[in-house]
A and B are shown apart, each in its own frame.
Chain A
Amino acid sequence: MKYKVRIGLDVTFKYIFKATGLLVLCLLGGILAMLIYNSISFFMDVKPLDFITGMEWNPTAKNPAYGMLPLILSTTIVTFGAMLIAIPLGIGTAAFISEYAGTRLKNILKPAIEMLAAVPSVVIGFLGIVVLSPGIADMAGLPNGLNALNGAILLAVMALPTIITIAEDAIHAVPKTYKEASYGVGATKWQTLRKVIIPAAAPGIISAVMLGVGRAIGETMTVLMATGNAALIPTGFFDSVKTMTATIAIEMGEVPYQTTHYYGLYALATVLFFMTLIANIVGEYFINRLRKYHAA
């Protein structure tokens, strides 16, 4: 090939590669622009305060109500429940894999957790309907088990792989010298784990939890299928709830294009976007703190 052609190709591809880098910025910018543009259209019709503090979500009523509180509380209770289950299980498993399991056991457990992460959310939602729901209904004496508890258990299963993987990395990264010093002064393995290793890995564990929260808030299919979808303010784990993601999933398919209701779903998505963004940013912040701490 001629020299000029080669140089020409070199320069052309340099710009092509750079352009794809900029495409990623356009994608995030596009998502933000879409959310904000449609939210503004929504707030032309509905007062922001009514949206934020409204206790009722009923856009198809004669007097449509666009209060997001029941939805945001539904998301909160399901996510909170999921974390109550997933945090102890996740940290315990991470500690076991990192500190107690031998190499052979690790080689089984780690792929098993990757497999759990690979199960599609719609399959987990399906199991919520066919396995968990009858189980919960029997135990609590309810007509059906499609409620916040069901969603919380399923979301815990979905968040566990994220929490375990990141927490395990964090525990694994604690310098060996810390452990040796602790054993040196006569501490047992458990005491070392509780008083030395977990505190030293705390930033990583917090970030594991926050990324798990981000995953749970944004998860759609499992909660859509397993929580019953009643848009009421939840009072307990046995109430049927309708999360923000499920509301968007259900109502977007039925709503006419460019109506207040349509824009309202985008406003809801905007709130959802920023909730997951905050969870992820906090998670990132603690991961970076851990990295700096270990680098120092």
Chain B
Amino acid sequence: MQHNKLRLSSIVEWGTLVGTTLIVCFFLVVIILEIVAKGIGSLSWEFISSIPKEGMTKGGILTPIIGTVLITLITALFSIPFGVFCAIYLNEYAENNWLTRTIRAAIRNLSGVPSIIYGLFGLALFVQTLQLGTSLIAAGLTLGLLSLPYIITTTEEALMQIPNSTREAALAVGATKFETIKDVVIPSAVPGILTGVVLTLSRAAGETAPILFTGAAFYISDTNGYINQEFMALPYHLYMLSTQHQAIEEVRPIAYGTALVLILVVFLLNLSAFYIRYKFRKNEN
């Protein structure tokens, strides 16, 4: 009796933990199935290669795709050099003093600042103070600032993986510290840095709040992507189609299609990051 009771209760207990895990997996499955099932019908070559037509009730999403690609490029161009340089400073040069500790604390805090506050900062700094106006460049730089703490943290982790003996060997044959970093440390840390960069950019590509007031537009007729003009972006397009459009029910298929393209882009970026990480680990062994 006692034994049976123990076994029954252990099944209930095990079931509780499995249940919670299944619920979490259920969320992911619902998200993916719902978007894929209802978005796949809209997906076609024409959908991703033609611009929105007739008040966005017809046509495709070429303009928002171009906008998202361009804004992610600007984010990368800004945040990668600054982020990697800062990580190099922290890992290779900085002594353990109050300044370094303050910088580290600042990075931790910055990665917790809500994205909408980055949006406000981008509005105040780039749009108004630097007179860039609501534009692709202002929004790209805003996302660049948002990405900076993540790039720094992941790059620093990659640099930490490089053993000190590697640095010492380079220094011992007469390389300067800068040459050691440029020719030895960075090349061996590239896979780790790349993983972090790709993950960060996939996050930036899906962000909406920071571009709300820095340059994203409801509709743009041309696909030239001028850096000083407003732009369309996939996440903002989805937000607009699902909440602000006058014919919400009519544009639902396009909204589902946009959501599907958006998660495909984000998941593909994530998968490539996993792949880089996986290959890198394999090579190490």
Contacts and interface: CB of A to CB of B under 8 A. Distances in A.
A290 interface: no
B274 interface: yes
Interface string B19-32: 11101110110110
Given A9-B176, A10-B177, A96-B18, A112 B114 contact: no
B8 to A, nearest CB: 12
Contacts of A31: 110, 113, 117-118, 121
Interface residues of B, number: 83
A248 B266 contact: no
B112 A190 contact: no
Interface in B1-48: 6, 9-10, 13-14, 16-21, 23-25, 27-28, 30-31, 34-35
Contacts of A118: 202-203, 206, 266-267, 270
Given A16-B85, A21-B94, A245-B114, A88 B20 contact: yes
29 contacts: A10-B176, A10-B179, A17-B92, A17-B93, A24-B110, A30-B121, A34-B124, A91-B20, A92-B19, A115-B267, A118-B203, A118-B266, A119-B266, A120-B208, A122-B262, A123-B262, A124-B31, A131-B30, A131-B34, A189-B10, A190-B10, A218-B117, A221-B208, A252-B119, A269-B117, A273-B113, A273-B117, A276-B112, A277-B109
A244 to B, nearest CB: 9
Interface in A110-142: 111-116, 118-127, 129-131
Nearest to A108: B25
A2 interface: no
Nearest to A17: B89
A92 B115 contact: no
Given A14-B93, A34-B120, A93-B21, A100 B14 contact: yes
Contacts of A22: 103
- Secondary structure class of chain B's binding surface, majority of residues: helix
Nearest to A190: B13
A96 B206 contact: no
Contact of A160 (B24, B85, B145, B149): B24
Given A27-B148, A245-B114, A266 B120 contact: yes
A218 B114 contact: yes
B19 A24 contact: no
A123 B116 contact: no
A25 interface: yes
Interface of B: 6, 9-10, 13-14, 16-21, 23-25, 27-28, 30-31, 34-35, 82, 85-86, 88-90, 92-94, 102-103, 106-110, 112-121, 123-125, 128, 145, 148-149, 152, 176-179, 181, 202-203, 205-209, 212-213, 235-236, 238-239, 242-243, 252, 255, 259, 262-263, 266-267, 270, 274
Interface in A4-49: 6-7, 9-10, 13-14, 16-18, 20-25, 27-28, 30-31, 34-35, 38
A25 B114 contact: no
A78 B27 CA distance: 18
Contact of A9 (B17, B18, B115, B178): B178
Given A24-B103, A24-B152, A109 B238 contact: no
A214 interface: yes
A63 to B, nearest CB: 26
